[in-house]
Amino acid sequence: MMCENVNLLDSFKIVLVEPQNPINVGTVIRAMKNMGLKHLTLVHPAEMDLQKTQISAHRTEDLLQNIQICDSLDQALQGIHESFGFSARKRTQNWASLDMEAAVSRSLKLAQMSQKIAFVFGREQSGLNNEELKRCSCLVHIETSDYTSLNLAQAVLLASYSLLRQSRMPSAAQSEVPLQRLDNFAPGTRIATQDERIRLLKQLENVLVEIGYFKSADPNTAIHRIQNLLNRAELHNDEYHLLMGIVAEVSNYAKLVERGIQPEKIRPAKSLNDLDPLADPQNIGKLE
Binding site for ligand SAH (CB under 6 A): 86-89, 121-122, 124-128, 140-142, 144, 148-150, 152, 155, 288
Backbone angles phi, psi at 7, to 5 degrees: -60, -35
* DSSP tally for the chain: helices H, then strands E: 11, 7
CB of 258 to ligand SAH, least distance (A): 53
When the beta carbons of 72 and 87 are compared against ligand SAH, the nearer one is: 87
CB of 144 to ligand SAH, least distance (A): 5
How many whole angstroms from its chain centre is CA 213? 31
| Shortest Cβ 87–ligand SAH spacing (Å) | 5
Residue among 124 and 131 whose Cβ is closer to ligand SAH: 124
Minimum separation from the CB atom of position 118 to ligand SAH (A): 12
Task: Kindly tell me which of 72 and 200 has the beta carbon lying closer to ligand SAH.
Answer: 72
Q: Residue 86 or 240: which CB sits closer to ligand SAH?
A: 86
Pick the closer one to ligand SAH by CB: 144 or 228.
Answer: 144
The distance of closest approach from Cβ of residue 12 to ligand SAH in the complex, given in angstroms and rounded to an integer, is: 15
Cβ closest to ligand SAH, residue 88 vs residue 191? 88
As measured in angstroms, the least distance from the Cβ of 64 to ligand SAH is 21
CA distance readout (Å), 198 to 13, 170, 184, 193, 248: 39, 38, 24, 9, 15
Indicate the SS3 state at residue 14: strand
Asked if 16 and 41 count as a contact pair (C-beta separation under 8 A), the reply is yes
* DSSP letters for 64-106: HHT-EEESSHHHHTTT-SEEEEE-SS---TTS-EEEHHHHHHH
Contacts of 32 (CB under 8 A, 6+ apart): 14, 38, 40, 60, 63, 156, 160
Give the number of residues written for the chain.
Answer: 288
Minimum distance, C-beta of residue 117 to ligand SAH, in the bound complex (Å): 15
Q: In 3D, which of 63, 79, 71 has the Cα closest to residue 27? A: 63
Signed CA dihedral, 271, 133, 143, 102: sign only: positive
Q: Given the complex with ligand SAH, which of 118 and 208 has the nearer CB atom?
A: 118
The residue number with the shortest CB distance to ligand SAH is 122
